[in-house]
Amino acid sequence: MQNLRLKGLHLLQTMVLMICVPGPVFAESCFAPPRPFLPSDSQAARDYAAIIRSDFENYIQDIQSYFRCLDSERARAFEEAREVSEDYGRFLQLVGD
């Protein structure tokens, strides 16, 4: 029964911590940009060439930002995993495992 209470207390502490910790500590969300639309009708492509060209250029810029975001998140996640691993090692030393 005591172990169950400790688990419940630990869960509650974790939830409170997650609510109180500012957002940047958590993982960044990287969203891939939508693919630009390319009409199959050649006349429509010619009629809307400027808009379509702009959509493709925006996509190229946005996908580069997306890749940078993924690289940044990957580096952040690796650093976090390293820190958690060290924390776990300290925990194991504290409990004598």
Establish if 77 belongs to a structural domain: yes
Establish if 3 belongs to a structural domain: no
Establish if 45 belongs to a structural domain: yes
Establish if 8 belongs to a structural domain: no
Predicted confidence band at 91 (pLDDT cuts at 50, 70, 90)?
Answer: very high
Q: What is the dihedral of CA 7, 9, 12, 14, to 10 degrees?
A: -70
Establish if 21 belongs to a structural domain: no
Tokens of 30: 């990287």
Lowest pLDDT segment from 19-23, 32-36, 66-70, 81-85 = 19-23
What's the domain count of the chain?
A: 1
- Structural domain of residue 33, as residue ranges? 26-95
pLDDT at residue 21, rounded to an integer: 47
- Contacts of residue 76, defined as CB under 8 A and 6 or more positions apart, other chains included, come to 27, 28
Cα–Cα distance, 28 to 22 (Å, whole number): 12
For residues 38-48, give the mean pLDDT.
Answer: 97
Establish if 2 belongs to a structural domain: no
Predicted confidence band at 95 (pLDDT cuts at 50, 70, 90)?
Answer: very high
